[in-house]
Amino acid sequence: MARLAEAKPEVGEGPLARTLCAALASAVDTAGGKEGGPVFLVSYRPGPDQQALPPALRQSAFTYDNALAAIALTACGAREPARRIGDALLQALDQDRTFHDGRVRNAYRAGPLEAGPPALPGWWDTRQKLWAEDAYQDGTATGNVAWAALALLTLDQDASDRRYRAGAERMLGWITANTRDQREPAGFSGGVDGFDPSQTKLQWKSTEHNLDVHALAAWLLRLNGSAESAEAARIARGFLDAAFAQGPGLFRLGTRPDGSLQPLEHLALDTQLWPLLGVATPPDAWRRAIAGAQERLAVPGGFDFNEDRDGLWVEGTAQAALTLKALGRTEDARSLLATLSGQVSPSGYLFAAREPRITTGIAIGPASPEPDFFYHRRPHLGATAWGALAALGWNPFTGRSVD
């Protein structure tokens, strides 16, 4: 069992950090399976007024959330639980049921992993009398691959061998081989969506995804000095420069499927924040994105996901707290951390949203006829991990303290 009292956090202190670190470590401990074996953590738990999650979420361990949890546990000093998630990511990379080309899926079935291909989430559809899976969860988003690789590089810093680094290199190899898009502005496209074996290539490019790729490639470049890493970092950074609108000082969401840049009418909070954490020497002009986020995305106590301001996005508010810490605005960060302290569920996890439901303005997949990605007031692994990172002052894009 991982005992946080014996693993001192490497950066930061405080009740919020201790609460969130303990909740993350406990989730790994209670996941079961062989002692020390690979494990994926379920991303959501039922909310205060729910008996159970919707079928598509009951077993779902989203790769992004689990990568964040591995990084946050490392920041907490709980390296053994972090390693168990990292080993699950490696097994998913090496033993997919269909593909063996360096990709990982957007989600896996939560719980301890047995030998062989990790199971994907699914549920019994009583109406159709069949086992159903989700097209997005079976697919592979570029940003999720990059986040899995960032988790592996975080673990590599204290590993006795190079298996985590080798896994991250394979993941970057999949990104560069399968998502590089030469259409101006050049960058990396969204990945693939749909069911095995014929998946649909996503033609749009995301600013957030390209930031993830840049951070991954730049980290690998520091380690291996490879031409592939240098080229990937350069291309992704070029896309970030193109996505930044100098006039208003805001980052666009990315491009449409036809390659044209998205308008500035619709924004996302993380797109405004992550470039300031994931690029080693961001231009001074990029700092204006913080002011733009405060002007267009702020709600009482923190931030919404998008510009409709229909509620507080807990994960994004944690991201803002960490970004403000990195910029030396400690009092502003402390105010947001106080908001997070009020969003801790009885389990120790942070809720995904303060309100019953908030919108994002984003569709889950290409088959969605309208925006259908929402955050609900449910305990959320990803929000909890970001909250721990913010409280500890740990930058997940570099594996270093922001202090």
Summarize pLDDT for 8-40 with one digit per residue, the tens.
433 344 899 999 999 999 999 999 888 899 999
Domain spans of the chain?
Answer: 4-401
Answer yes or no: are the C-beta atoms of 242 and 261 closer than 8 Å: yes
The three-point CA angle 179-285-256 to 5° equals 30
What architecture (CATH level 2) is domain 4-401? Alpha/alpha barrel (1.50)
Residue 325 parent element (H or E): helix 314-326
Instruction: Collect all residues with Cβ–Cβ distance below 8 Å to 41 and sequence separation of at least 6.
Output: 27, 28, 31, 61, 65, 66, 69, 85, 110, 381
Beta strands in 213-325 (DSSP E): 244-245, 250-251, 298-299, 302-303
Q: What is the mean pLDDT of residues 151-172?
A: 97
Q: What is the mean pLDDT of residues 219-248?
A: 97
Summarize pLDDT for 346-380 with one digit per residue, the tens.
999 999 999 999 999 988 888 777 788 999 999 99
Summarize pLDDT for 116-158 with one digit per residue, the tens.
999 999 998 888 889 899 999 999 999 999 999 999 999 999 9
pLDDT of 336 over the 50 cut: yes
pTM of the full predicted structure?
0.95
The three-point CA angle 218-222-226 to 5° equals 80
